[in-house]
Structure 1
Amino acid sequence: MIREAERATATTTAGVTDEGAVRSSGARSTLERDRRRLFLPFVLPALVLYLVFFIGPALAAVWISFTRWNGSTDAEWVGTRNYEVLVDDPVFHTAFVNTLLILVVVGVVVFVIAFGLTMVLREMRGRNAVRSILFTPYMVSAIVLSILWGFIFQYDGLVNSLLEAFGMEPVKWLSAGNLMPMILLGMVWINVGLYAMIILAAVDRIPNQYYEDAALAGTNSLQRFFYVTLPMTWDVVAVAATLWTINSLKIFEFIFAFGGTTTDLPSTDVWNSALFVYGMSFGGRTPAYAFGYASAAAVLMLILFAVFVILLRRIMRREPIEF
């Protein structure tokens, strides 16, 4: 009797389990059908906009890069001629070097300062107010910042006034030889707040127990940075470095406004890739409105920076640390 009751109970339990599995499978199938049904109305509009306003113009730029076209007459197919001229163009070489300077020099300085600010702010009271102050330059228009930066460093500006107050000679900060370093310094000032906020958000999620254990082990602040902070924020740092690599290719307004005026382009000595493309397209260079040549420069710079991003992601790839 007992064995029969046990068999009956097992059969009933198995039946309930099978019925629950069938219901669960049916619910999953319904959910999958709902997802497929909702995919098109939600994703298709964004996909169409992406194709029309990004992929389409990008493919058109690639085609235009193989032509000679001034925007009004019929495009003339010239094959790889634009790319061949680019390789020997000293202005393009200067623009490429300046773009690399922005990428590497400004990037390294921004991340070093951002990490330094992060370690200071982590222990500071009222750090939210300091965060807002640091982030302000990134929220303000680049044109406004360029005017302010020029006011600070012009010959009779704020910095030289302070130098004269201490009995020192004023410096021509905005002379031709100093213009590019001042642009790089301005880029640091604008971007350091954003990346400090990104890194600080990553540091905030690290439990204090790790820092306390490291302190009990006799480590100093620098050792705690390399053994605790950096490894545990590495995934965020990798994403931020990729973001900076992409953004450094697109910097335009600050250099355009700070290095020249709204009607005259700045000297080609401070051109970066974005200014080169603009200058060749609309800047009154000879030949004027060389859209094919400018498109070739844009395509070439895009390919080079895509390679940089891929290499950067490979170099910074690590297994994520879970905590």
Structure 2
Amino acid sequence: MRRRMFWPFVAPATALFVVFFVGPTIGVIWISLNEWAGAGPMSWRGLKNYVTLVQDPTFQTAFSNSMKILVLVGGCVFLASFALTAALREMKGKRLARSIIFFPVLVSGIVIALVWGILFQHGGTVNSVLGNFGVEPISWLNSSNMFTMIGLGMVWINVGLYTTIILAGVDRIPIYLYEEASLAGANAWQRFRYVTLPLSRDVVSVAAVLWTIESIKIFEFIFAFGGTTNDMPPTSVWNSALFVYGESFGSSAYRFGYASASALLMLLVFTAFVVLLRRLTHREPLEF
């Protein structure tokens, strides 16, 4: 009976997976081996798109920026999330605090980008506040500072989500473990270091995988923050998602084959990161 009921339940999900994931992936692989403008005939190029890609300075910049987002921005997100987790767990009114820090997650990335720009433009709120203390206006949004400001914006957007995920894991830890640690003379940092972190490792591992996947898809915040109504952001702040868009829809070239090669290459790189991360963080499940 169970065997007969297996396929009726699995088949719809399998069909959707093939249609919306496997099929498009195969299509991207085929397009990446051709030169194509999005319409009309294709011209076979084989692996030439990939060879040209790894030698392209713009792609190298986009790849480097993607790695910075993954490692540096991700590191800041998790450090801030750990700090907030340690603070929120033992404070009064933590439910209200959780709602406040989670709010940026609910807002569109484009809206956040516009707000971020208003705050840090030359005559914006931040410079106005600093001016009250005699500080000269700072060019937060010039070309040398723009990617740093983008990184800070992404930290602000994401820290609420990952704090909430980690706190959900921390809330599962029995309270008596903290009580025993307190009776043993452990301070707040030691309770966090020797109780919270080890027992929430599985949740942190899942959150790290989610960030790895999310970091390759970041697009609208950079696009809206660094661009204008008529132009894309400067290539110095492009990541892999913006590179794919810029090579396909963002210019008059419409190099869909080249963009597909970039998308596929970054998919393989980040898939390798996810597999490696899962292997490094794998352990036997703890029961408590």
Residues 53-89 of structure 1 deviation map (CA, whole Å, 9 limit, x = unaligned): 1110111001110101111121111110000001110
Residue number in structure 2 paired with 1:293: 258
Within 2, Cα distance between the matches of 1:222 and 1:196? 17
Give the one of 123, 126, 133 matched to 1:166. Answer: 133
Give the one of 10, 18, 36 matched to 1:69. Answer: 36
Residues 78-135 of structure 1 deviation map (CA, whole Å, 9 limit, x = unaligned): 1100000011101000000100111011111111111111111111222111111111
1:218 positional shift: 2.0
Give the one of 209, 228, 231 matched to 2:198. Answer: 231
What are structure 2's unaligned runs of at least 5 residues?
Answer: none
1:41 positional shift: 3.1
- 2:246 maps to 1:273: no
1:1-323 correspondence to structure 2 within 5 Å? 33=1, 35-284=2-251, 288-323=253-288
What are structure 1's unaligned runs of at least 5 residues?
Answer: 1-32
1:40 positional shift: 3.0
Q: How many residues align?
A: 288
The residue type paired with residue 319 of structure 1 is E
Within 2, Cα distance between the matches of 1:193 and 1:71? 39
The residue type paired with residue 320 of structure 1 is P
Residue number in structure 2 paired with 1:24: none
Within 2, Cα distance between the matches of 1:71 and 1:107? 35
What is the DSSP-based 3-state SS (H/G/I as helix, E as strand, rest coil) of the residue aligned with 2:258? helix
What is the DSSP-based 3-state SS (H/G/I as helix, E as strand, rest coil) of the residue aligned with 1:175? coil
What is the DSSP-based 3-state SS (H/G/I as helix, E as strand, rest coil) of the residue aligned with 2:232? coil
Is the 1:99–1:273 Cα contact (8 Å) retained in structure 2?
yes
TM, length-normalised to structure 2: 0.97
1:169 positional shift: 0.3
Residues 202-256 of structure 1 deviation map (CA, whole Å, 9 limit, x = unaligned): 1111111111111222222222222111110000000000000000000000000
- Percent identity among equivalent residues? 60
Within 2, Cα distance between the matches of 1:310 and 1:40? 29
Within 2, Cα distance between the matches of 1:243 and 1:298? 19
Within 1, Cα distance between the matches of 2:92 and 2:192? 20
The residue type paired with residue 258 of structure 2 is Y
The residue type paired with residue 118 of structure 1 is T
Runs of 4+ aligned structure 1 residues displaced above 6 Å come to: none
Within 1, Cα distance between the matches of 2:107 and 2:12? 32
Within 2, Cα distance between the matches of 1:217 and 1:129? 31
Q: Which one has a bigger Cα radius of gyration? A: 1
Within 2, Cα distance between the matches of 1:72 and 1:48? 27
The residue type paired with residue 67 of structure 1 is N
1:321 positional shift: 1.9
1:39 positional shift: 2.9
1:262 positional shift: 4.3
The residue type paired with residue 308 of structure 1 is F
What is the DSSP-based 3-state SS (H/G/I as helix, E as strand, rest coil) of the residue aligned with 1:265? coil
* Cα RMSD for the two superposed structures: 1.1
Is the 1:242–1:312 Cα contact (8 Å) retained in structure 2?
yes
TM, length-normalised to structure 1: 0.87
